[in-house]
Structure 1
Amino acid sequence: MKTSDFYFDLPEELIAQVPLKERDKSRLMVLDKETGKVSHNSFRDVLGFLKAGDCLVLNDTRVIPARLFGVKDTGANVEFLLLKRIDKNKWQTLVKPGKRAKIGSKFFFGNGKELTGEIVDLAEEGTRIIEFTYEGIFEEVLDRLGNMPLPPYITRKLEDKERYQTVYSKHRGSAAAPTAGLHFTEDLLKELKNRGVKIAYITLHVGLGTFRPVKAENILEHKMHSEFYMVSKETADLINGTKADGRRIISVGTTATRTLETLGDSDGRIREGNGWTDIFIYPGYRFKVIDGLLTNFHLPESTLIMLVSALAGRENVLRAYNEAVKERYRFFSFGDAMLII
């Protein structure tokens, strides 16, 4: 299967640059994964598509201000994106320009005293391992000096940093938001619970895979980077109980999906635990845990549209995306949503 099989033409003006003023006022396309039929709705209409007994699974990761602008000891400006914490003081990072970040290179952030770093190793795909030196608590230093790591296709400044966090974000560690969850408000989640929909939380810290395009023409040659997940016994029991009752598991976002499918056995049951996943889901994959997916509209030729196509069929998805373009839906992180059931 070729990467180009997942291409669609997207006008640049449909890429949402800013979030809507109200989270739940986005549009919602509902796609029947069996028939390919679509309907056009508002996001709050999700209340009518979820049933009592269904379990909605949300990723409660919280984005850290992972973009740092530093100065090399030579005076050159360099940008760092923190991707994965290796230990207390070491991080895997993307560096621009990378040629300035050789092993032994030292960098200064802020006033040059609050935070310093040294490149101590090279990692996959040209990323670097940087070891930081600082006084106090690293998270507090990062809050002062770091910037929100918005995707490169968003060129407008984000006025409110919390709009790139879900209302239920909890565990810090992501380099990008699980954007399907940005549509939910606390009131909407409360109303879903009142209607008998179960809410479960998993954590997957979004890393390099979100920023990495598929460069291989044969998708089987693409390698996913690992991302850290945490699933509690409470969540595992809730999901397994839902499956045992014959009810549906609806994941919110591709990150929740990848976590659940990593942990699922052949009967669709999951186990509690922490670990790393590099699962790559593309057409031909047989889902073990999820029955439906709430997600945003994704980039052409990305691993995300491949995952969606695995659930609903490539032809159905591309047909729905072309209709979304025709109907002027908003795309990507701050865009509209799609529910596949």
Structure 2
Amino acid sequence: MTNIIHQSFEIPEYLNAKIPAEYRGGMREHVRMMVLDRNTGETYHDRFEQIDSYLSPGDLLVFNNSRTIPAVLKAEGKIEIRLSRQVGEGQWEALILGETNGTLILPNQLYAHIIGVGSEPPLVKIAFSKAGTELLDDIYQYGEPIRYEYIENPWPLDAYQTVYGSVPGSVEMPSAGRAFSWKLIKRLKQKGINVAFLQLHAGLSYYGNDDWPIPTKHPESFHIPSDTANLVNTTRKSGGRVIAVGTTVVRALETAVNEIGEVEASTGVTNLYIKKGFQLQAVQGLLTGFHEPKASHLDLLTALIEEERLGAAYQEALQQGYLWHEFGDMNLIISTRESK
């Protein structure tokens, strides 16, 4: 992992976003946005609903339309199951909190058994007694959204969805797109800014007790439709900018780049770890939230902008009072002076 940015800041408690914007009396798009020029390191401070001011006709926004599932299940014996990734029919990698003998008893005659190790400790592989829509029905009926310690109050599952999320599978919200409303997306399209969708089902990004996933052992399932791949390639060829809405989109698109530098329609599992020095071929910009000091997402950001500039911008974000985490403010990293 990189060093400078990971060690350069701490998030004060008062900058943890605990309440979604629409529960603070506003709308989803009523959050702040720091625009960061990836070439110069210059910053601009604005409202997210003004994002169209920084985009141009012919640019392409790529969204992750994976839908968040209620991935926390409570089993008998005060055991908590945090689903991470589906690995087979009725089989998941999961984090188990609490003492278990290997059998997990859940409501509605649902059982699960630990059948192996996961992609990395402390994840394990579990097999449920149900599968398909029957299992998904139980997950939706008895599960709860994953909620980390900085979120004091439980919020409904809908608070953990993007408005365009349509394919269930993420255990954590692909939160970079949370601030978009359909009204804003429509306005962007009317201005000639194109939109496309893919799926990457986000797994657990944190295991608790200061334990984070190893970036090279964090597989996530993805699907890039042919329409999206074609739009990315034609945008690049026509001089437009491909702007990923979220690090998940960057990971999926860069995984699908072929030997001639084009994105191919594809379905699979990615272990791609993007860090400083990685040559991005599909993406020229990124809309994302503000990331925690030990999150590997910061490593991905250093493939877009020099680490020193990113660190300086994060210090400025702290001084300006930007809010962190999934209900927080936005960061647009883009070449603002790029010729069109």
Q: What is the TM-score with the length of structure 1 in the denominator?
A: 0.90
| Structure 2 unaligned regions, length at least 5 | 335-340
Asked if 1 retains the 8 angstrom alpha-carbon contact of 2:5 and 2:308, the reply is no
Aligned partner of 1:94: which letter?
L
Q: Does 1:294 align with 2:298?
A: no
Mark the CA change 1:128 to 1:271 in structure 2 (over 3 Å): closer, same or farther: same
Shift of 1:243: 1.1
Unpaired segments of 5 or more residues in structure 1? none
Q: CA deviation at 1:142?
A: 1.1
List per-residue Cα deviations over 1:275-328 (Å, max 9, x = no partner).
Answer: 111111111111111011000000012111111122111111111111111111
Shift of 1:9: 2.2
Q: Is the CA contact 1:243–1:268 (under 8 Å) kept in the aligned structure 2?
A: no
Encode CA deviations 1:3-24: one digit per residue, 9 max, x unaligned: 4642212211101011111110
1:223 to 216, 220, 239: 216
Query: Is 1:186 equivalent to 2:182 in the alignment?
Result: yes
Tell me what 2:15 maps to.
14
Partner SS for 2:21: coil
Distance in 1 between residues matched to 2:195 and 2:261, nearest whole Å: 18
Q: C-alpha distance in 1, partners of 2:141/2:318?
A: 39
> Which residue matches 2:138?
141
Please state how far the C-alpha of 1:267 moved relative to its aligned partner.
Answer: 4.8
SS at 2:221 equivalent: strand
Q: d(CA) in 2 for partners of 1:9 and 1:204?
A: 29
> Are 1:199 and 2:192 an aligned pair?
no
> Kindly tell me: are residues 188 and 56 of structure 1, through their superposed partners in 2, closer, same or farther at Cα, counting changes over 3 Å?
same
Residues 215 and 296 in structure 2, CA contact (< 8 A), matched pair in contact too: no
1:162 match? 158
Instruction: Provide the C-alpha distance between the structure 2 equivalents of 1:195 and 1:2, rounded to a whole number of angstroms.
Output: 38
Moved more, 48-57 or 123-132: 123-132
Number of residue pairs aligned between Structure 1 and Structure 2: 326
Name which of 299, 304, 310 aligns with 2:303. 310
Q: 1:202 to 1:174 in 2, by over 3 A?
A: same
Q: CA–CA distance in 2 between the matches of 1:308 and 1:222?
A: 14
Partner of 2:69: 64
Equivalence for 2:42: 37
Equivalent AA in structure 2 for residue 55 of structure 1: L
Give the structure 2 partner of residue 320 of structure 1.
313
1:222-275 CA distances to partner (integer Å, 9 max, x unpaired)? Answer: 533110000111111111111111111000000001111111235541000101
Partners of 1:254 and 1:150 in 2: CA distance: 20
Q: CA RMSD for the aligned pairs? A: 2.0
1:48–1:2 distance in 2 versus 1, CA, 3 Å: closer
Per the alignment, do residues 222 and 84 of structure 1 end up closer, same or farther by CA in structure 2, a change over 3 Å counting?
closer
Partner residue in 2 for 1:27: 32
SS at match of 1:83: strand
| Correspondence for 1:118 | 113
Q: Alpha carbons of 1:29 and 1:5: their partners in 2 closer, same or farther (altered >3 Å)?
A: closer
- Say yes or no: does 1:171 pair with 2:167: yes
Residue identity over aligned pairs, in percent, reads 33
Partner of 2:337: none
Q: Which residue number corresponds to residue 53 of structure 1?
A: 58
Q: Is the 8 A contact 1:36 1:316 kept in 2?
A: yes
Relative to total residues, which structure has the larger helix share, 1 or 2? 1
TM-aligned CA deviation for residue 211 of structure 1: 1.8
What is the CA distance between 1:2 and its match in structure 2?
A: 4.5
